Copies of this chain bind each other. A is one copy, B any other.
């Protein structure tokens, strides 16, 4: 059993992930959020919830991650703020969390990225600044001393989970339910062979577990 900090636990993927983890009881989950009201709501549901400001200093994030074994980073500034926040949260906030994780002795780091963030040629024109932020956060993570996994989902939907996905180095564009993304993130924590891998993720034909295992065979 690991102590897992979910950064961005109030996000749409984060909410699914925290709920799944609370239900599964495989690991101890710490839900990390930005606002006190969010923290209170999570605590009322019996979860351990902590506050963090991704625009604050690394030292605060380091304290937050004390005794934590694994981090899932699913925070983002979202579509309603400007690209100043894209730079300060999606990029710098992510990298500060990586630095804090390294400094705190965290072993495992699972990053929610975006389809083909590794490949500038596939960045959608109107989302290029967002992709650039994710791209450089991912590059910093890959160079860290953490056991990283980078999950690059396609267009996110609120459809119900199917439990069926496809993963790969370079998938065609598509969609994937947030609830299924959460299942993949959770499974990455337990599946040997997902460390030091970055992959696209879409709705597909295979069970999550089977998809991640097939990736191991591709390695």
A residues adjacent to B (C-beta < 8 A) = 57-58, 82-84, 86-88, 91-92, 95-96, 120-121, 128-129, 132-133, 135-136, 139-140, 143
Q: Are A88 and B57 in contact (CB under 8 A)?
A: no
Contacts of A84 in B (CB 8 A): 83, 128-129
* Number of copies of this kind of chain in the complex: 2
Q: Are A121 and B57 in contact (CB under 8 A)?
A: yes
Q: Are A132 and B91 in contact (CB under 8 A)?
A: yes
With A84-B83, A120-B57: A92-B143 Cβ-Cβ less than 8 Å: no
In the docked arrangement, what's the CA distance between A187 and B184, Å? 53
Q: Are A128 and B91 in contact (CB under 8 A)?
A: no
Residue of B nearest to A121 (CB): B57
Interface centre among A95, A132, A133, A139 (most CB of B within 10 A): A132
Contacts of A57 in B (CB 8 A): 120-121
